[in-house]
Each structure stands twice: as C-alpha cells, then as structure tokens.
C-alpha cells in the first residue's frame, strides 16, 4: 500500500471554511483504480494546519491518479478559488510506502 500526505497551513479563522470544502469535495479520487481511503486531518494544537491523507493500493495507482485528467480538473478548480489567499497555498507533500500494519 501507499500513502500520501499533503500538509498546508491556512489562517486559523479560515480553517472551518477549508474543512467545509473538503467535507463537500467532489470525491473524484474515490473512483480511481486502487484508491482505498481519504482523510482530512487537523492539527490538534495548530488549528490552521491541515493534512490531506490519501491511501492507494500501490504507488503505481497513485501516480496514475496524479497523471490523470480528474486530478488535473480538481487542481485547476483549486487555482480558481475566489479566495486568492487560499488558492495560493502550496502544500508540503510527502509519500510513503506502507511496510507494516
């Protein structure tokens, strides 16, 4: 299995707005081959620090998702978000092979 974390900071007063966006997400990734799970995590001490976690059955399927049209559509929408402060946020992405459960 393979997991990817995308961590980003938003102003704390906008954290609930961003959480709402993710709660109402398109769910396009959910139908990607090899997709297992999506989670949005909020740092318990720093409310503006959010992390998206994706889990796929393999690195190959994750990379296929990232290279696909649905991924591009989702991220193009993010760039057009009306709040330019939020639209300009670039996450720190880390990728891991899951080696034990």
Tokens 């740092």 locate to 43
pLDDT, averaged across the chain = 92
pLDDT at 83: 74
Please return the burial class of 62, using the count of CB atoms within 10 Å of its CB with bins 0-12, 13-18 and 19+.
Answer: buried
| DSSP strand pairing (35-42 vs 49-56) | antiparallel
Q: What are the boundaries of each domain within the chain?
A: 2-97
Tokens 């057009």 locate to 80
pLDDT at 79: 63
The answer to whether the pTM exceeds 0.75 is yes
Distance in angstroms (rounded) separating the CA atoms of residues 97 and 81: 32
Q: Write the pLDDT tens digit of every residue in 43-81.
A: 999 999 999 999 999 999 999 999 999 999 887 766 666
Mean pLDDT computed over 25-30: 92
Mean pLDDT computed over 20-24: 92
Determine whether domain 2-97 maps to CATH 3.30.70.100: yes
């Amino acid at each position: 299995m393979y997991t990817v974390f995308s961590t980003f900071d938003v102003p704390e007063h906008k954290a609930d707005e961003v959480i709402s966006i993710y709660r109402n997400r398109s769910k396009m990734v959910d139908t990607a081959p090899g997709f297992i799970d999506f989670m949005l995590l909020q740092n318990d001490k720093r409310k503006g620090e959010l992390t998206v976690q994706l889990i796929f059955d393999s690195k190959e399927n994750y990379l296929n998702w990232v290279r696909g049209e649905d991924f591009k559509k989702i991220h193009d929408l993010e760039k057009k978000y009306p709040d330019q402060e939020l639209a300009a946020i670039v996450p720190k992405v880390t990728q891991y092979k899951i080696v034990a459960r």
